[in-house]
Each structure stands twice: as C-alpha cells, then as structure tokens.
Amino acid sequence: MYQYDTYDQSAVDARVEEFRDQVARRLSGALSEDQFKPLRLMNGLYLQLHAYMLRVAVPYGTLSGQQMHMLAHIARKYDRGYGHFTTRQNIQYNWIKLDEAPDILAELATVEMHAIQTSGNCIRNISSDQYAGAAADEVADPRPWAELLRQWSSFHPEFSYLPRKFKICVIASAEDRAAMRLHDIGIELVKRDGVLGGRIFAGGGMGRTPMIAPEIKDFVAADDLLSYLEAALRVYNRHGRRDNIYKARIKILIHEIGAKEYKRQVEEEFAHVKTLGIDPPLAEFDRIAAFFAPPAWEQGLSDDLDLSDPDFRLWVDQNVIAHQTPGYAIANISLKPIGGIPGDASADQIDLMADLATRYSFDELRVTHAQNIVLPHVKKADLYTIWQALDEAGLATANLDLISDIIACPGLDYCSLANARSIPLAQKIGQRFADPERQRDLGELKLKISGCINACGHHHAGHIGILGVDRKGTENYQLLFGGSGAEDVSLAKIIGPGFSEDGVVDAIEKATDVYKALRTDGERFVDTYRRVGMDPFKEAIYG
Amino acid sequence: MGDPLTFRTDGAHEEPAVTLDSFLDQSNATAVRLEPGEDARALLPYLDRLALVEVAFPAFRDGRGYSAARILRESGYTGELRAQGDVLVDQLAYMRRCGFDSFAPEKPLDPAVVKTSLERYEHPYQATIDGRAPIWKLRHG
C-alpha cells in the first residue's frame, strides 16, 4: 500500500487546519453559507435532511487494517455507531456535527486519510478495480496509476471550480469490475509492444442523462498521462456548460460537440501542454509503484479446500474469487444481509474486518463500488477460520452478484435530493428472494436502486434497475431492464408504467419467472433479456 | 473599490481595462478585460503590448478564469494578471498558482486571513507556471 512521505502528510495536515479555520469563520459569520458551501463540499461535508453527512475518501478503494479501525472509531465517537460504504468506494457518516468535522479530519490525518475532494465540482476520489494486485486477469496493478492521479488531482489549482464534479476510474483488466465507462474519464491500462499505457474513454456517466463513454485515445504512455488528462480537463473547464447544472457534466459537452471534435481539441491542447514539463519523471511513477509491490507470498501452498461444511461451501462458491497466486484467494465480504441496509456496517463489524485483514490478508482491505468489502489476499487454508469469524458477526452472507446483493442509494431516508426511499425497498426485495437456493438458481443478477434521477444507486447500469420518483406526492418506482456497468456495458431501459413499493417487488418476481422459463444453458438474466427483448417480460408484468 | 492587492514589484497598472471586443478593434490599448466566456487565446498575438489583463469572476464558482490565466502565462505573458470580481480569500492560493498576481475583490479581504491562506500549503503537487517546485521534483531532485 502507498505510504505518505512528509510532503503528503504536510499537505493533508494543512488541509485539516485550513478547514478548521474555514469552519471557525463560518461559525463566526465571516463566511456566508453560500461561500462556505463549496469549501465544506471539497472536504466531503454535505448538509442532508437531518444532519451533516461526511464522506471520507478511500483512494481507489484500498485501505489498511489500521485505517479501517479508524473508520470504526469515527463511527463510534462521532456518529451513531455505523458507517455506510458507497458506490464510489468511499465511506459516509450520516450524523455528523459541523463543529466536530475538523476534529474528525484531524483524526483521519493520523492514519493518512482525508475527505479531500469527496464532493464539490472538482476531481473526485479516483476509483479502481477492487481486485487490483490480486486479480488473475490484470495486465498490471492499476493502483500506482490511481495514486499518481490522486496526487495530481489533489488541490489542483486550475480544476477546483469545474462546471461540475469529475470522476476518474482506472482499471487494468478486460473484465470491468468498476463501471469504468460510466465515468467522466475511464482509463483501461493496456500493453502495447510490451509498454504499458492507458486507453482513454471520456464522457460517460449516469445521472439524469446516462451516457457510455466513447474511446477518445487508444494509447497514452505513462509519461504523457498527466499532460493528456490536463489537456482533457482544460477543454472541459473552458467549454463545459455552466448555464444549467443538469447539463454541466463533461458527457453533455462531448455529446453536443461529438467525441471526434472533443478529441481534436484535446489533442491540440495536449500538443501545447506537453511542452510545459508538467509530467513527473518515470522515477516518480516507480517510487509509487514500489509501494504496491506484491506482498511476500508463501510458496508451495496447497490449493485444496475442505468444503465439508455445507454453509462454508456455499460462501466459497459465491463470494470467493480466484487469486493470481497459487494457494491464495480473494474473499468478498457482503454488506447485504437479507433485510439489512446495503453498504452499512457497524463499528464492531468494521473493527472485525480490520482485524481479519491484519491477520489474514497482508493488512489490506478494499471497498467495492457494489458496496461490499474485500479481503484481497487470503490463504485458502485460512478461509474457513475467516468465514467462521464473519458468520458470527453477521458478515457471511453468500450472495455476491446475486439478486439480493443490491446497490442502493441512501434515498429519502437521508438524502435531501431523493424523491423516494431506496433502503426499505432493497430490504423488501431481499426478503422476497431470501431463499439462498432460489437466489443461486437465478444466478448473476445485478439489481440497483436509485431514489431519484441523479442515479447514485446506478439504476441505469442494473440488469434490473429501479428508479424512485415522486408521483403526485406518493413514492412510485419505475422498473428498468438490461443495463450493465461491466465490460458488456449498456444502459437499462424503462419497461413501462411505474409501481408502488410492493408492486415493484411483485413485478421483479414475475420478471425472474419469465427469465427462468426462457433461459438457455448458462444465460444470465441480462443475457436472456437481450436475446428475447422486452415483450415477454412486459406481457407477464402488465398483461 | 480600493487599490488592487498586488504581488508585483511595479504595482498595479492604472489604465482602465477595455472589453476584449474593443481591444481587438483598436491598436493602442494596453489593458483588457476578459469575461468568463471569452477566449484568452485571442490575446496571444498582442501579449507584448499588454500591461494588464483583468479576468472577470462574476461568480467565484465559475472557474474558467483559472484556465485563462494559465494559458496566458504559459504563452509567455509577463504583464499584470488581475482577478476581479467575486474573488474570495479561499480561492487566492489557487489563483496565484495559475499566474494571477493582482486581485481586485468586490468585497475587501482581511489581510491577516489572506496571509495565512497564501502560506498554508508549503509545497504543491502540480507543476504550474508559478515556478514553485512540485512535490515530485523535490522528491527526485
């Protein structure tokens, strides 16, 4: 894992003091709420329905046991004993007091963490593949690239007042586990003639106008990457729309002028920017990469597993993924127990996951965009012990990528933008499909719920997506089919008129019945839907 | 409005700035004002005779002026570069890093807070035209 040097630490410490000063000026009245708002947002502090919400950055979703313990400590001391892991691989606390926020940031800084640029119209936390450094299919570890981008984007003087927020994702596998093409800029690391570089996509996003990012550059070498991104951002900063907040994301600019014209402008700007000498030397990349060197794997480990305990076997089948090193595995911890709140974990659970990481996973954890936690490097021989500890803590739900592994936004229970509640609906769907056998029979089925058109719950990318709207004062849910945030990226389509909360659960059940009747061998729900189209589903649901 | 806050040894330029349109129409003005939607690159042929470029910030949230400033400095402009309008103390450090060297805020700034804000971050991560060594350079000499 990356470790701060004195430069990194002093920047984060300075930020804490800056924010302490800004909060003091706000409390004294020297700053108006209008002036304070963008400053607190750039430190992750939102004003929600009931309280302030603090979003803490987990850069590219990677954190240590010590950092995870700190997240538990903050949940206990400053919140109500729990935290909420987000689709941006971060964590949010929903019950924060403004005057305590600087103290929280100070505590985070002691473990090399912060809330810098987790909100605001700036470059947000860089997201990445949760299996980075562990996945069997990666061409390289994407995290050194993500860390390079974290430093470049932190306190960027030119790009802190962009037209709108800006999200960047870096992956390094053909299999996309991070919804890369639904980011403002997506980077897929590829090898060309033995040299590693980035394939660049731009203008993706969800929100009220979902778009899949088109490719704008097939290869950018490592030592050109920052210049290239600087050029891409500058074109956006200068020409992105600022007349309408809903048309201000880069996807609208690229949609309006076309990917080809955007690319032409970026190339022209790049030709200029590249002369300025803003790219760090490769020695800096190497310095960062050294922190992500593979841990000292034990050699000669057995790949055998004793699967005689049937519950353990189910968990292994569903939640454990192949590792790049013999004898090791990637263990997913589902934060989606049946009837629970997707992405929530109690302080005790967070502490337990931290302890397991320290003991069994080279002190590393990952947060996934699907709001789960990963122990990336565990010995297969330790899996049973880990599972027992998770099971005792209510963390061993064996439902990764199944219908109850739901992404849901906080919805109307917390969010001031929401039109409908997401959490109770997620709980109802989980309960309806609670039978593990039934879920496994339905196979991979990514269900995603947003409580408003801003799409924080990624409903456009759901095999089944649900969008909560407000219809004449009542919560109403629209159903969408056929989306994907993976390498088969696609946008889901609304199937017809909306439903009540119970009605939408019934409709999903009918859709899964249609799938079971029509599927061919090995077809997932989304494959069947793509093959047969919407009609058979509509007929069953509305007919 | 009082004298602009300057970080230049030659002080603030006193000639009032004209609009970009009128600047491009006449040959003798040495001070021009850029609105957020105007293209800083239109000034590149005239950098030698310009003594002041005033970049308007009608609302602090509109960050186009940061790019305008960097483009001018990156192209060799050495005259006064002034941020005018809704210029707040919490934006000053970034503006300095983009090449602004004078400020004409609509609402007066507290000099003590200005000083603290500008000195807060010892080293920047990015290389910009302000000449400060980025952290990566300090790391690798």
Residue A42 CA to residue A118 CA, distance in Å, equals 6
Contact between chains at A155 and B121 (C-beta distance less than 8 A): yes
Do A369 and A342 touch, CB atoms closer than 8 A? no
Residue A431 CA to residue B127 CA, distance in Å, equals 54
At position A51, the amino acid (one-letter code) is A
* Closest residue on chain B to A18 (Cα): B120
Looking at the domain A310-392, which fold is it? Alpha-Beta Plaits (3.30.70)
pLDDT value for A321: 96
A29 touches chain B (CB under 8 A): no
| Shortest Cα distance, chain B CAs vs residue A84, angstroms | 29
Do A320 and A307 touch, CB atoms closer than 8 A? no
Q: Which residue of B86, B128, B135 to mutate against A (max A Cβ within 10 Å)?
A: B135
Residue A54 CA to residue A332 CA, distance in Å, equals 25
> Residue range B30-57: average pLDDT?
97
Contact between chains at B126 and A156 (C-beta distance less than 8 A): yes
Residue A234 CA to residue A162 CA, distance in Å, equals 9
Considering only the beta carbons, identify the residue of A17, A157, A284 that sits closest to B66: A157
A46 touches chain B (CB under 8 A): no
Considering only the beta carbons, identify the residue of B95, B98, B139 that sits closest to A284: B139
Considering only the beta carbons, identify the residue of A17, A237, A277 that sits closest to B64: A237
Residue A422 CA to residue A430 CA, distance in Å, equals 12
Contact between chains at A154 and B136 (C-beta distance less than 8 A): no
Looking at the domain A6-109, which fold is it? Sulfite Reductase Hemoprotein; domain 2 (3.90.480)
Q: Which residues of A465-482 are buried (b: 16+ CB within 10 A; e: fewer)?
A: bbbbbeeeeebbbbbbbb
Per CB-CB distance under 8 Å, the chain B contacts of A272 are 74
* Closest residue on chain A to B93 (Cα): A157
A77 touches chain B (CB under 8 A): no
Residue A355 CA to residue A361 CA, distance in Å, equals 9
Average pLDDT, chain B: 93
Contact between chains at A276 and B127 (C-beta distance less than 8 A): yes
Enumerate domains of chain B plus CATH numbers: 5-140 (3.40.50)
CA A114 to chain centre: 17
Contact between chains at A121 and B74 (C-beta distance less than 8 A): no
Residue A459 CA to residue A426 CA, distance in Å, equals 13
Residue A402 CA to residue A159 CA, distance in Å, equals 39
* Closest residue on chain B to A278 (Cα): B127
Tell whether the model's pLDDT for residue B28 goes beyond 90: no
Do A65 and A360 touch, CB atoms closer than 8 A? no
Q: Which residues of A28-51 are buried (b: 16+ CB within 10 A; e: fewer)?
A: eeebeeebbbbbbbbbbbbebeeb
pLDDT value for A195: 92
Do A227 and A278 touch, CB atoms closer than 8 A? yes
Q: What are phi and psi of A411, to 5 degrees?
A: 65, -165
* Closest residue on chain A to B129 (Cα): A276
Per CB-CB distance under 8 Å, the chain B contacts of A280 are 134, 136-137, 140
Residue A235 CA to residue A231 CA, distance in Å, equals 6
Per CB-CB distance under 8 Å, the chain A contacts of B110 are 30
**What is the torsion angle, in degrees rounded to the nearest 10, for the CA atoms of residue A11, residue A123, residue B44 and residue B34?**
-100
Contact between chains at A157 and B94 (C-beta distance less than 8 A): yes
- Could you give the residue ranges of the DSSP H alpha helices within A156-224? none
Is the ipTM of this structure higher than 0.95? Answer: yes
pLDDT value for A99: 93
**Angle CA A323–A71–A124, to nearest 5:** 75
A397 touches chain B (CB under 8 A): no
Contact between chains at A14 and B120 (C-beta distance less than 8 A): yes
A25 touches chain B (CB under 8 A): yes
| Shortest Cα distance, chain A CAs vs residue B25, angstroms | 24
End-to-end, the C-alpha distance of chain B in Å comes to 44
Tokens matching residue A539? 């007929």
Residue A265 CA to residue A498 CA, distance in Å, equals 42
Q: What is the band of B1 on the pLDDT scale with cuts at 50, 70, 90? A: very low
Chains A and B: how many Cβ contacts under 8 Å? Answer: 104
Do A262 and A254 touch, CB atoms closer than 8 A? yes
A24 touches chain B (CB under 8 A): no
Contact between chains at A14 and B70 (C-beta distance less than 8 A): no
End-to-end, the C-alpha distance of chain A in Å comes to 55
Contact between chains at A155 and B120 (C-beta distance less than 8 A): no
Tokens matching residue A9? 């630490």
* Closest residue on chain A to B97 (Cα): A157
Domain spanning A134-289, CATH class: alpha beta
Residue B68 CA to residue A219 CA, distance in Å, equals 28
Do A157 and B97 touch, CB atoms closer than 8 A? yes
**Is A134-289's fold the same as A408-542's?**
yes
Residue A100 CA to residue B140 CA, distance in Å, equals 38
Give how far Cα A185 sits from Cα of A254, A290, A311, B1, B14, Å.
12, 25, 41, 42, 44
pLDDT value for A426: 97
CA contacts within 13 A on the Cβ side of A501: 14
* Cross-strand bridge partners of residue B54: B33, B82
pLDDT value for B2: 57
Tokens matching residue A253? 């600019």
Contact between chains at B64 and A35 (C-beta distance less than 8 A): no
Q: Over chain A (543 residues), what is each successive 10-residue block's mean pLDDT?
A: 97 96 93 89 89 96 98 98 96 95 98 96 97 95 97 97 98 97 98 94 96 98 94 98 96 98 98 96 95 96 96 98 97 97 97 98 98 98 98 98 96 90 97 97 98 95 97 94 98 97 97 98 97 98 94
Residue A41 CA to residue A39 CA, distance in Å, equals 5
| Shortest Cα distance, chain B CAs vs residue A286, angstroms | 11
Q: Edge to edge, what strands does the sheet with A62-64 contain? A: A62-64, A364-367, A373-379, A328-333, A320-322
CATH (one of 3.30.413.10, 3.10.20.30, 3.90.550.10, 3.30.365.10) for A408-542: 3.30.413.10
**Digit-coded pLDDT (tens) for B118-131:** 999 999 999 988 88
For chain A, domain boundaries: 6-109, 134-289, 310-392, 408-542
pLDDT value for B13: 92
At position A194, the amino acid (one-letter code) is G
Q: Which residue of A161, A236, A265, A285 to mutate against B (max B Cβ within 10 Å)?
A: A161
**Angle CA A265–A269–A272, to nearest 5:** 150
% of residues, chain B, pLDDT over 90? 84
Residue A406 CA to residue A209 CA, distance in Å, equals 22
